[in-house]
Amino acid sequence: MSSTRYRKADVDGTTIFYREAGAENRDTILLLHGFPTASHMFRDLIPLLADRYHVVAPDLPGFGQSDMPARERFEYSFAHLAKLVGRFTEVLKLDHFALYIFDYGSPVGLRLALEHPERITAIISQNGNAYEEGLSDGWNPIRAYWKDPSQANRDALRTMLTPQTTYWQYTHGVADASLVSPDGYTLDDFYLARPGADEVQLDLFLDYANNVAMYPAFQDYFRTHRPPLLAIWGKNDPFFLPPGALAFKRDIPSAVVEFVDSGHFALETHYDEIATAIDGFLSQREAVLPRKLEVGS
């Protein structure tokens, strides 16, 4: 079993924290987390992949151990996050990689794919939505904010930043909540409680409307490039519904779609099953995944 290394990279003046495991000459998987978490959500998955793959999991700016610059000098938009993650891959010299996209990681990763489709070897979408039918009614308060970004609608969303809501996100749809470790959600709450973190998250809630507007572009990318794609979904997710997973097959008929009996944070309860599905999916495609050259070859 490969050990995980905890590192930081300077990306155009922004410090990006990341976890890395596995030999660098193996196929790379870039793990992109969602809200309100960080790369620690992959703490159980990384060791199960690192014996066969080079695994890299950054914290997005404003999340986890990465920098959270002041909003006055940093644009908290998904386009900007994607630009910095793209530069992060260049700083680390990740020329080709499979994307694991979850929640916020989906619009970030799919923007990378639009910008550089030649770098993407495969996509694993774990509750990473790209279709309007995947959005549940749980988005209605945020939709109201998109339509009317008033202070009242902004303040109404602060309930989504409380410990009670974080716990609910982790446990909703889970058959046995005692299987959900408190390590993840309590660390998320710590990061959310930092001064200014609430305003960063509210900015991103507002900007998420631009992700939905880009769904047609993402879908065109799927149809045009047909990346190998595995959608593995916690079927009880209160935010991203199973139809969002099934929709991938409309644009990529060869896409593999699987469901696990869990909620939004399916890795908390089904990391073994998800790791097995990823390994099987990528192993079947090794012939078409570009491999890094050995040093000196």
Q: What is the CATH number of the domain that holds 194?
A: 3.40.50.1820
Residues whose CB is less than 8 angstroms from the CB of residue 260 and which lie 6 or more positions away in sequence, other chains included? 232, 233, 234, 235, 266, 269, 270, 273, 274
With H, G, I as helix, E, B as strand and everything else as coil, classify residue 23: coil
Reported as a single tens digit per residue, the pLDDT across 47-96 is 999 999 999 999 999 999 999 999 999 999 999 999 999 999 999 999 99
Q: Is residue 126 part of a domain?
A: yes
**Mean predicted confidence (pLDDT) in 105-131:** 98
Q: Is residue 139 part of a domain?
A: yes
The CA distance from 278 to 125, in Å, is 10
Q: Is residue 295 part of a domain?
A: no
Instruction: State residue 295's pLDDT score.
Output: 33
Q: Is residue 284 part of a domain?
A: yes
Average pLDDT, the chain: 95
Q: What's the number of domains the chain is made of? A: 1
**Mean predicted confidence (pLDDT) in 132-161:** 97
Where do the H-state alpha helices sit in the chain?
45-49, 78-91, 105-115, 140-147, 151-156, 163-171, 182-192, 197-213, 215-225, 242-246, 248-251, 267-283
Reported as a single tens digit per residue, the pLDDT across 249-263 is 999 999 999 999 999
**How far is the CA of 273 from the CAs of 9, 37, 162, 165, 245, in angstroms?**
31, 21, 30, 26, 17
Query: Of all residues in the chain, what percent carry a pLDDT higher than 90?
Result: 95
Q: Is the pLDDT of residue 293 over 90?
A: no
Q: Taking the C-alpha atoms of 90, 34, 290 and 24 in order, what is their torsion angle to the nearest 10 degrees?
A: 60
Identify whether 264 is a catalytic site residue.
yes
Q: Is the pLDDT of residue 291 over 90?
A: no
Structure tokens of 18? 């990341």
User: What's the whole-model pTM score?
Assistant: 0.95
Q: Is residue 95 part of a domain?
A: yes
For the chain, give the number of residues.
Answer: 297
State the catalytic residue, choosing from 33, 40, 264, 270: 264
Q: Is residue 293 part of a domain?
A: no
Q: Is residue 65 part of a domain?
A: yes
Domain that holds residue 9: 5-288
**Mean predicted confidence (pLDDT) in 121-139:** 97
Q: Is residue 294 part of a domain?
A: no
